[in-house]
Amino acid sequence: MIEIRNLAKKFGTKTAVDDVSFKVEKGEILGFLGPNAAGKSTTMRMITGFIPPTSGTAVIGGHDILTESIPARRKIGYLPENAPVYPDMTVFDYLAFCAEIRGFRGGKRSRAVEETLEKCFLTDVKRQTINTLSKGFRQRVCFAQAILHDPEYLILDEPTDGLDPNQKHEVRLMIKEMAARKAIILSTHILDEMDAVCTRAIIISRGRIVADDAPANLKTRSNLHGAVSLTLQGGDPEAFVAKAARIDGVASAKILEKEDDAAKVRIFPKAPDAALLNTILVALSESDCRASDVFVEQGRLDEVFRRITS
């Protein structure tokens, strides 16, 4: 378990992280979300022992990062922001160096390196100097370094930054596969990624936690949650909207856009889970419009994100 206790960091008079506390258990994938400069990287740097906190601490698998730094760091795999690696080493030499630092010797060392190369699809470039690799491959080399020693705790700062869609998918799969045995904290700006990968999301803004919930629950906070969107063809959409707005349980209904024959309409319920769809469909069949598309909104993370953090 990773336990973050009242972590705070001040740079001069500026507070980058302000009293952040949470726990991550094994099996969890915690998505760390927030606008630029929210303090995500700073928090991760404190958890991994790179910079000392102004106050508070992080306890990694029972070891305090401040007082038992080395045993704590042994249990962590860390992918820093921008994936720093030594440019003038070959991929193999670099990973061999990391393995040695992690205490692998002799045959064990080469085995750990080879396995990791394979897992991260780096076998083909293992003799290549890192500065001749593309950005995505460099990112993968750094990711490989983080999982090389099969750590119990993974801290990944924007792990899919700079990867192509296929690689993003591979990395997400890998993270999900590893999750059962590990506690993982990852930061990201991609909301779909968080939705697809994370079991829990923490949103921070200006250094403070503003939301801590499962992604599905976060979505229900959206204004859109439960709204019904329709695309109508022909007829008189204005009449339909006026009628829909009078239905019991509907808060409002409006035309989003209108083009030639087609109109996009959205109907918002008063309470998110009122089962409105049926009544709306009845109203629809009584009107002279034909629907080409009906959709009940789940809620949008980006909308929730914007509302919480601005």
Partner 1 sequence: MRTTDSMTNILAITKREFFGYFGSAVAYVFIVIFLMLLGFFTFYISNFFEMGQADLQGFFQWHPWIFLFLIPAVAMRLWAEERRMGTIELILTFPITVWEAILGKFLAAWAFIGIALALTFPLVITAAYLGNPDLGAIFCSYVGSFLMAGAFLSVGIMTSSFTRSQVVSFIIAIVICLFFILAGFPPVIKALSGWSPAWLVDLVSYLSFLTHFMSIERGVLDLRDIVYYVSVIAFMLFINGVVIQNRRTA
Ligand X SMILES: Nc1ncnc2c1ncn2[C@@H]1O[C@H](COP(=O)(O)OP(=O)(O)OP(=O)(O)O)[C@@H](O)[C@H]1O
Q: Shortest Cβ distance from residue 145 to partner 1 (Å)? A: 7
Q: What is the number of the residue whose Cβ is closest to Mg ion?
A: 41
Q: Which is nearer to partner 1, 9 or 225 (CB)?
A: 9
39 is a contact residue toward ligand X (CB under 6 A): yes
Phi, psi of 38 (to 5 degrees): -75, -25
Q: Shortest Cβ distance from residue 309 to Mg ion (Å)? A: 15
Question: What is the distance between the alpha carbons of residues 169 and 163, in angstroms, rounded to a whole number?
Answer: 9
How many C-beta neighbours within 10 Å does residue 55 have?
A: 13
Q: Write the interaction track for Mg ion spanning residues 23-52; mark x where CB under 5 A is met and - where it is not.
A: -----------------xx-----------
The stretches of 34-149 forming alpha helices (DSSP H) are 40-47, 69-74, 91-101, 106-119, 135-147
Q: Which is nearer to partner 1, 83 or 301 (CB)?
A: 83
- Please give the residues from 49 up to 88 whose contact with ligand X meets the rule CB under 6 A: 81
- Please give the residues from 190 up to 249 whose contact with ligand X meets the rule CB under 6 A: none
Give every CB contact of residue 43 below 8 A, 6+ residues apart in sequence. Answer: 4, 7, 9, 17, 20, 32, 204
Residues composing the chain = 310
Strand partners, 184: 29, 154
- Please give the residues from 79 up to 138 whose contact with ligand X meets the rule CB under 6 A: 81
- DSSP result, 192-239: HHHHHH-SEEEEEETTEEEEEE-HHHHHTTSTTTT-EEEEEESS-HHH
Q: Please identify which residue in 40, 109, 119, 140 interacts with ligand X, judged by CB under 6 A.
A: 40
Q: In this chain, which stretch among 59-67, 75-83, 94-102, 234-242 interacts with Mg ion, using CB under 5 A?
A: 75-83
Q: Which is nearer to partner 1, 50 or 121 (CB)?
A: 50
Phi, psi of 253 (to 5 degrees): -145, 140
- Please give the residues from 269 up to 308 whose contact with partner 1 meets the rule CB under 8 A: none
Q: Please identify which residue in 7, 33, 45, 207 interacts with partner 1, judged by CB under 8 A.
A: 45
Phi, psi of 258 (to 5 degrees): -135, 135
Nearest Cα to 24, choosing from 53, 4, 45?
A: 4
Q: Which is nearer to ligand X, 11 or 86 (CB)?
A: 11
Q: Which is nearer to partner 1, 51 or 214 (CB)?
A: 51
Chain contacts with partner 1 (rule: CB under 8 A) = 11, 45, 48-51, 70-71, 73-74, 76, 78, 80, 82, 84-89, 97-98, 100-103, 105, 142, 145
